[in-house]
Amino acid sequence: MYWIYSGVMAFALVVTLPYWFLQMRRNGKYREGLLERLGKVSRRLSRSSQPSIWVHAVSVGEVLAVDDLVEGLKAAFPEHRLVMSTTTATGQRLARKRLGAENVFYFPLDFTFAIRNYLRVLRPELVVIAETEFWPNFLRLAHGAGARVVVANARISDRSWPGYCRMKFILRRVLRNVQLFLAQTEEDARRLRDIGAPAERIHVAGNLKFDTTLPAASAIVASLRSALQRAQSGPVLVCGSTVDNEERLLIRGFENVRASHPRAVMILAPRHPERFEEVAGLLQQLGIRFWKRSLWSGEPLSGGVLLVDTIGELASLYALADVAFVGGSLVPRGGHNILEPAQHGVPIIVGNHTENFRDVVNLFRSRDAVRIVGPAELPLVLLELLANDEERKALGHRAVETVQSQKGATEKTLHFLKDLLAENAQLPQAESAGQPLPTRAG
């Protein structure tokens, strides 16, 4: 099965090479870390005498979600080296800030030749995969090298679910290489069982993203707040993680707000850096006054849009919002994480495409802690919330309470990982030296 899978992967890579080269040439995407993805271990990841714990976090959201867990692992296992891989460039930059460049690298493509190089250098005793990354060769080789493999914060979105169901006859074998699945919810646990994960290895530990620590108050937030106050600007609408075809709808809603509030400001943060210039062009085309965050030098803001063309600031910028909109949800893209504005006690609006965060959004909706709208309703809901201070503040307060009620997943996850590593320490020497491990219940 693995030979067939690897052959299909190689064929797909060759066929799609023109697309990857076009993306590299057009905006530099995928160029960074290319050799690492192909299995060349960077010198900064020099071989260490310490055994390692390898955490894989795809992008920024996953890196933030495992932040407290990583700190807990470092404290609990100081004799281990902790390393992290990411898939995206934005996740890579954030991970390097957190752990240092010498401990962070790009996740290798799912080919045996690429993966074995990292396993040989890092010698992981524990591999923790954040959320759901079922790479067959990686799971097989990591398990065969003696590592205990855990899928933490595991979820199966509505969008992914049909595809997994179609492939479950293959997944059943692949998932036996994982010793422990820590699901976000009972529904995620059920779906894992249905696609072939051994039931005795599945536990519900909660969602790590509820435990994410608010970023420290940043200098940019203080500067922006001061600029807004000097210009007597407001209200402030923060629109985060927006995607293609969504900004136009949001700008239309903002124009409705500005008709009643001429000093209103929108802080607009597109999801993908390669779209910054595209969105700037759209604002220019529509005749909207705007400032680029990268060029902003403290001038007063009023009656226009601050385009956030920087990385890593959105989570703290939500603190400025009178109302927050979380993107990827007015168009069918599955939505993005609403917990960052919720932690600030900000009233949240999302569109009706939130499949990627189904359980979180449903929880908030059950507690009247979020507003869900379609494109046509967005301007009206914005105006209603801005006209009603009491309801707006109550909505934000319920959002904070909802986050607080769900904390604790990091502690539960760390408990499971400690037990798993303790079990690994008791294995026969031949196994811990890297011989293939028999399949066990987690």
Residues designated catalytic: 62
Task: Please report where in the chains the tokens 């009706």 appear, as a residue.
Answer: 352
Contacts of 404 (CB under 8 A, 6+ apart): none
- If residue 140 lies in a helix (H) or strand (E), which one and from where to where? helix 136-144
> Hey, what amino acid is at 109?
L
Q: Which residue reads 């000093």 in tokens?
A: 263
Distance CA 386, CA 325 (A): 13
The answer to whether 290 and 194 are in contact (CB under 8 A) is no
Which of 311, 316, 308, 353 shows the shortest CA–CA distance to 334? 353
Residues in the chain: 442
**Distance of alpha carbon 55 from alpha carbon 86, whole angstroms:** 9
Place of tokens 């209200």: 235
> Six-digit token pair at 267?
């802080």
CB atoms within 10 A of CB 28: 12
- State how far Cα 320 lies from the chain centre: 22
What separation in angstroms does the CA of 194 have from each of 139, 169, 171? 19, 11, 10
Instruction: Compute the distance between CA of residue 288 and CA of residue 255 in angstroms, rounded to an integer.
Output: 9
Tokens encoding 89? 């460039």
The answer to whether the peptide bond before residue 428 is cis (omega within 30 degrees of 0) is: no
